[in-house]
Structure formats: C-alpha cells, structure tokens
Amino acid sequence: IEIISAYHPGGNKNRAAFINDLTKLTRIKKEYFICGDLNARHRMWNCKTANWAGKALFDLSQKGIFLIQHPSRPTYNPSSTKFSPSTIDLTLTNSHFETTTPTTSPELSSDHSPIIFQIKLTETMKTATKKIFDYSTANWKLFRHIINNETMLTNMHHNSITNTDQINKLIDNFTVTILKAHKEAVPQITPGQYNIKIPPHLTQIIKIKNMLRRISQRHRRCSLAKKLVNFLQDKIRHESNTLRNDSWNKTLTAISNSKNNNKMWKLVKLLKNQTNHVPPLIIDNKTLLAPDEKCEALRTVFEKVHLNTFNTTSTADNKVKKIAQDIQNNQCTTTLSPAELVKPKEIKKILKNLKTKKSMGLDNINNRMLKNLPNKALILISHIFNSCLQSGYFPDKWKATKVIAIPKPGKDHTKPSNYRPISLLSCIGKVFEKTIAYRISEHASANNTIQHSQFGFQKSLSTVHQLHRLKNNVVKTMNRKKSTGLITLDTEKAFDSVWHDGLIYKLHQQKFPSYQTKIVSSFIKDRPNSVHIGECKSQSYIPAAGVPQGSTLSPLLFNIFISDIPKIHKGTQYLFADDIALSYSSKNPGPIINNLNNSIKRYEAYCNKWKMNINAEKSEAIFFTRNTSKNHLPNKHLKVKNVEIPWSKSVKYLGTHLDCRLTFKKHIENTAIKCDKYLKILYSFLNRKSKLNLKNKILLYKSVIRPTLTYASPIWCTSAKTHKNKLQIVQNKFLKIILNLPPWHSTNDIHNRAKINRLADHTAQTNKRYWIGCARNSILAKRLNFLDK
C-alpha cells in the first residue's frame, strides 16, 4: 500500500495543473491512500458551498477510478466567525482493503482537525521487540568452556588442510561454535527506551482542553471557550517542556554519578553525527519510499563508483593481465618457513589490542567474542590462517561485506550520490588481514618499496609531519628570496578504483613472496557487497576495482600500488595516501609554471597507464611569495587534463588552510567557526543549566573542542598573535559557559577555576613534545634526510 501525503494550496487558480496532478496520483498501479488538505469544497462531503477544485475532484471520482472518504464532521474550523466550517481534508483511495469510517479528533491546536481511520489488513502486522545482548552480565567462563568442549584439535595441522573446501568447513563449524557459546553465555535484554511518562494531572488538562475545543467548534460565537482552549494549550506546552527538560537533566545527572563515561560519549557521538537514517530518495522525479527500493538505488551508485576507470584502456594492459592471470591460475600450495607461520601468540597479541565497540560483519561475530576466546580456539585459528596462506586463499565467508550508507554532510540527502558507503567486515577476517599486513609490510620495509615522500598510513608519521615538511620547504625558499608554486591533485575515488590486475602485477614485479601475492589476489577479487537499511538488503554486487573499504590491509596495498609514482626533478613531492601535492621553487614564476606543468603531465601519463583519474575540478594551486611586483607573480595558470587551474589565495591540504604568505589567518578563522558549530551541538551538555557535573563538562571540552582548536599547532604556531588570540577567545567563551560566568569575567580567573592552561601555554607544551618526538623519530629523520639530499 502506498500512503501519499498531498497538499493543494487554496490560492491556486490553475485548474488544468490541479486535474493533471490528481490524474497522475490516482492512476498509479499500486493500491494507495492519498491523504491531505486539498482545499476542495463540495456539498457531497458536507461543505456549505462548492469551489472549482471540489467540482473537478468530484467529476474525476465519477469515473470510478477512486473513492473519496471523509468524516461526518468538518475538518477545518476557521478562527474567524465570518467563515464557515468545511471539510477540505480528504482521503482518496483505490484500495480493496476495508477501512473504518474516518473521524476527526480535536486534540491538536491547529484550526485543522486530524482525520483518523484504520485499514483492516488480512493479517495482523506486529513488530517484534528487538533484544540486545547484555555484556555486563556475560559469563565468559561458560563461553570459553563451551568452545573448549566443541573444538577438536586431534590430528589437526595446517599441512593436513589441503583444499579450500576443508578450510570453509572448518570456518563454518568454528563460527557455529562461537555463536552457540555466545548465546548460552550472554543474556539478552530489552533495551530501555527514552519514553517520558505524562503525569495524570497533565493528562486530565489535555482531556479538558479537547472537550472545550469541541464546544468552541460547535458554538463558534462563544469566545470564552476559545480563550480557555488557548490558555490550556499554553499551560500544556509549558508543562511538557518542563517535563522534557527534567527528564534530560535526570539523564545528565545519572551520567555525572556514573563511574564510566560510556553513556556520555554515546550521546555526544549521536549529537555530533546527528542522524544516519536514509530519507526518501528521488531518482528521475520518482520518489523511493520503501527500504528495499532505497537499497537497490544506493547499490547502483556504489557499484558504479568502482567502474570509474575500470573500462579505460592502458598501454600495460596485455602484460599486466597475463601476469595476474598466471598468478590466479597457479593452484600450487606454498610451504611456509617457520618464521612465516602465524602462531597463536601473534593472534593473542592482535586480539588484545582490538577495540570492543567495533561493528561486526555478516557472520555476527564481534571483537568481544574474539577477545574472550580460549587458547584452544587460538590454536585452531592459527591452523586455519596458515592453511589459507599456504593455499593463497582468503575465505569467501570473510569477504562478504555489509555496506551501510552514510549521508555526506551539507549535501542533498534525497540524491543517492550524496551517500558514502561504510563497509562492515568480518571481525575474524580483519584479524587475518592484520597477519597478512604484517608480513607484507616487513617485505616492503626491507626493500624500501614505499616512497619516502609517502607519509600516509606509515608508522610514527602523521598529517602534521607532512605539513611540517611542506611549511619548512616553503619558508626556506622564502628566506632565499624565492617563490614556491604548489598544486594539490585530487585523485578521483582513488581507493575505490585501484586496478586489481595492476596491483597484482606490481606485487610480482617488486618480488613480494608468491604466497603474499596469491593471498592478496584472492583478498581483493570476488568480494560480494550488499547494501543494508534496517532489515532490508540489496542484491549483492562484486566491485570491479578498488581495495575493500574498512579493511586494515587496504591502506598498505594502496601505498604499494602508487609506490612507483613519478618523482619530481628539482621539485618536491608530498604524499599522504591519495592526497598528492607537488611544489617547485624559483626566483621567477616562469620556471615554476613550466616545471609544475611538466610534472603534472608525467603524473597524468602515470594515471592513464594505471587506470587512475585526476579530478581537475577539485585540484587547487597556490603561489607562495613575499613579492608584490607583478613581474614576480605568475601570469599563466597550471593545467590539469587541459583544464586551467587558477591560482588561489588559499588552499586546503591535510585539513589545514594554507595562504600565500603562510599567515594561517584563514585556517584559524575556519577553526573558530567549526568550534562555534560544535558549541551549538553540545550546548545541551555545556550550558549553564545543564545538570552534567563540572568535571565531565571540562572533560568534554578537553576531548572534543580543544583538539579541534589545536590541530596542527606546530605548523601555525608562528602566526601572528592577533590571529592566535581568536582561538583563545573561543576557549574563553566555552569556559564561561561551562562555569556559568558572565561574558566580562576575568580570563585569568576562569582558567584558574577550570584548572586549564591558556591556549598559548597548552600549545607550547604540546609543540615541545612534538619537536622532541621529531628529534627522536628515527623513521622521520631518515625520511627527511633522504628527501633533503
């Protein structure tokens, strides 16, 4: 059944459009109920007079396509006595289901009364109450006991598991055992709901208000009844707000009294992320309401992303496909050396560091279960992992992916293209990925596979380190009276469009062990993905390209895939995963433009060869200089794919806004704006009347707001004091709200009361730790020394 909400404005005079819209709505193939304020008056539904819309609607109903249902009492009661009550809220239906007679209810404060009717379905539809597992009362001793009893290790060895069927059977049995033990050991409870109980006296006031409203509608000249209705409506609104606020205060007080802050962080996360539900989607002017329709629409969009460059041709096509096919067809097993085998001790170490709150995949095994596995189970897992490595097989069960659609902030969420996929993978599969990643990274480190200019997903390196390197290079050239041109290149859907055969070819060419190349080939190919909304899911699709989103192995594979990216001659390259920036310095703009354009062309050729795509529209260029003379400023633009990239006054790279003179004014202003948005989101926690205790308010500020204020502070610490003071003003504002102090209160006193350092002192301490860390960071020192040569 389609339930359609419709509204026809009373001031509309376009008869043809009204009839055309009604005809379209009433001729859909499904059974429907069209409900709403149609502003169509006719004597057939108890109106005093008829208007043209009512006559047109009545004429259409005479064709027998639909029925008009209406209550016996008027649905519109104008406040002015000059106008008569009328029935303009109607229901149009072609349904064969029996319905009750529509009735009106006077329970709302609007001059329109709601219509109530019931559709009598052939079967009663009941929504089952969803239960959750209560881990606070879990019996993990029983959990381990059941698994120990069910797990058989007699005559088991990884060399005795010779084919994929045996591996799959072992995984199936082990999964059943874990889920069985979990069901026995962890009780289920019905989750508590945030329901506000209305007190009896307020319920009585609502009943009296509704009674008086009916009287005022019958005796429209009785002004006393109308005044009493308005008075009671205000009282109900005031008491309802008080009730809601009291309930919220109780929740915050409970958080304050609690020894752990889990509930607080859950609420903060909900407020920050707002809602992730998928509203009705619109495709080609068609509105998709049903969850299964939404799933299919999103599946189409997500699948298309992986085809971004898949069908493009490459000069390396033939040799790449031949090598990849040979590796895939190689069915020989590899005998691993003792050092290459996965040991239970290694698995135990990985499980110890797992986060318990991570979402689970389609196998319904979560990290809590894995962290509580007995040693006997770890031995079994090690046998499964080793047999998979020797066979070059990543189990199909662990490749099945549950995809959740997350709306992109600030976008139109009725368009499927404005959602990004979040992949929920098997937790035990991700443990296996970590063991593979460790072995691949060992080989990559020993052979210097990944470029030294790549700082993304590298141990002991962060975005701040790359920004530090960029700023140092620009400042150094400025001190030599040179200018620097920088372009940031956006690689479109870089992770989602990694050429599978190209990655396998590069692993082979860089002489990774054959068992590693084979397991990666199995890992990235034939991965069934399905989009889930609630209990509904789409048909599965196999990504044609890309490394799996949400995987612990994918970032490493991506770094290997672009490890042969062309280096810049006489210039500098800055890589952070798929964020690429190129710079060149000179006293004159001419050589800068020529060298950067040449580097861009080389990068374009590289992308064409390896089926990657540069998005020229999102690429930005900036010219760092202290010169103001036109002769020392660029008179030509850079070109990406024959599209001119204008020189911008500021660009955003790795979350930091860089301006032409590195004043960081725009970055600091944008940071202040971002914190103001956070204040609006978290105001219910931090405001003067909040029942959250002072300790938790300060903790919330230190954990959410201050890291935002101080992000990349070692980079912008040289900016002018007037700019940095803007961030101090933001901190002052938050502390005064938290401490319930007036805006003019002493800045020194608020910091003493909150026991928080001024922002300048705090950043001085954190920056000092950063510089000491840089001096002691052998990996960073090695890379910087290499890059400075």
Interatomic CA distance for residues 276 and 272, integer angstroms = 11
Q: Residue 560: is it exposed, middle or buried by C-beta count within 10 angstroms (0-12/13-18/19+)?
A: buried
For residue 733, the model assigns a pLDDT of 94
DSSP β-ladder status, 572-576 and 401-407: unpaired
The answer to whether 198 and 383 are in contact (CB under 8 A) is no
The pLDDT value given to residue 787: 52
Q: Would you state the pLDDT for residue 59?
A: 86
The yes-or-no verdict on residue 535 having pLDDT over 60 is: yes
Q: Sheet holding 579-586: strands in order across?
A: 572-576, 579-586, 483-490, 620-624, 647-648
What percent of the chain is predicted at pLDDT more than 90? Answer: 56
Which of the residue ranges 190-199, 371-380, 435-444 would you say has the lowest mean pLDDT? 190-199
Q: How far is CA 235 from CA 108, 209, 239, 568, 748, in A?
A: 14, 10, 6, 72, 44
**For the chain, percent of residues with pLDDT exceeding 70:** 93
Among the ranges given (84-93, 224-233, 446-455, 646-655), the one the predictor scored with the smallest mean pLDDT: 224-233
Distance CA 613, CA 603 (A): 10
Provide the residue type at 672 as one letter: A
pLDDT digits (tens, 9 = 90+) for 460-506: 899 999 999 999 999 999 999 999 999 999 999 999 999 999 999 99
pLDDT exceeds 90 at position 784: no
DSSP 281-303: EEETTEEE-SHHHHHHHHHHHHH
Flag whether pLDDT at 66 surpasses 90. no
**Alpha helix stretches (DSSP H) within 495-612:** 500-509, 514-524, 554-561, 589-609
Radius of gyration of the chain measured on its C-alpha atoms: 33
Q: Which residues contact 242 (CB under 8 A, 6 or more apart)?
A: none
Cβ 623 vs Cβ 660: under 8 Å = yes
Report DSSP state, residue 407: E
Residues of the chain with CATH 3.30.70: 455-499+558-659
User: Can you tell me the distance from the alpha carbon of 463 to that of 468, in angstroms, rounded to the nearest whole number?
Assistant: 9
pLDDT at 478: 93
Confidence grade of residue 380 (pLDDT, cut at 50, 70, 90): very high
Query: Over 50: is that where the pLDDT of 789 sits?
Result: no
Report angle CA 403, 263, 698 to the nearest 5 degrees: 115
Cα gap 369→749, rounded to integer Å: 49
Bridge partners of 32, per DSSP, are: 2
Give the tokens for residue 293: 């329709």
The Cα-based distances of 181 to 154, 186, 401, 432, 484 in angstroms read 21, 8, 24, 22, 63
Q: Domain 455-499+558-659, what fold?
A: Alpha-Beta Plaits (3.30.70)
Residue with tokens 């009674």: 211
Sequence-ordered alpha helix ranges (H) in 281-426: 291-305, 317-329, 344-352, 367-371, 375-391, 396-399
pLDDT of residue 783: 66
137-156 pLDDT per residue, tens? 999 999 999 999 999 887 77
Q: Which pLDDT tens digit goes with each residue over 714-744?
A: 999 999 999 999 999 999 999 999 999 998 9
In whole angstroms, give the CA distance from residue 605 to residue 588.
27
- pLDDT band (50, 70, 90) for residue 85: confident
- Check residue 76 and give its pLDDT: 87
Could you read off the pLDDT of 110-131 as tens digits, one per residue?
788 888 888 876 554 444 557 8
Statement: residue 78 has pLDDT above 90: no
Dig out the tokens for 47 from the structure.
Answer: 């109106």
Residue 637 backbone phi and psi in degrees, to 5: -95, 160
In three-state secondary structure terms, 768 is: helix
Residue 125: per-residue pLDDT: 46
CA dihedral 540, 544, 546, 551 (to 10 degrees): 30
pTM of the model: 0.78
Q: How many helices (H) and strands (E) does the chain have?
A: 27, 25
Cα–Cα distance for residue pair 459/778, rounded to 1 Å = 11
Closest-CA residue to 620 (of 603, 599, 637): 637
pLDDT surpasses 70 at 255: no
Q: How far is the C-alpha of 734 from the C-alpha of 447, rounded, in Å? A: 50
What's phi and psi for 572, nearest 5 deg? -130, 140
Number of CB atoms found within 10 A of residue 257's CB: 8
Given a cut of 70, whether residue 194 has pLDDT beyond it is no
| CA 359 from centre of chain | 13
Query: Which among 101-105, 157-161, 668-672, 769-773 has the top mean pLDDT?
Result: 668-672
Q: Which residues partner with 531 through β-bridges? A: 403
- Yes or no: say if 254 and 260 are a contact pair by the CB < 8 Å rule: no
Outline which parts of the chain fall under CATH 3.60.10.10.
2-120
Q: How far apart are alpha carbons 716 and 474 in whole angstroms?
A: 13
pLDDT level of residue 408 (50, 70, 90 thresholds): confident
Contacts of 52 (CB under 8 A, 6+ apart): 15
* pLDDT band per the 50, 70, 90 thresholds, residue 73: confident
- Per-residue pLDDT tens digits for 264-288: 666 666 666 555 678 888 898 888 8
Answer with the residue of higher pLDDT: 181 or 199.
181
CATH number of 2-120: 3.60.10.10
Nearest to 349 by CA among 439, 428, 431: 431
**Residue 236: partners with Cβ closer than 8 Å, 6 or more residues away:** 202, 205, 206, 209
The pLDDT value given to residue 762: 96
Residue pointed to by tokens 């020989």:
332
Mean of all residue pLDDT scores within the chain = 88
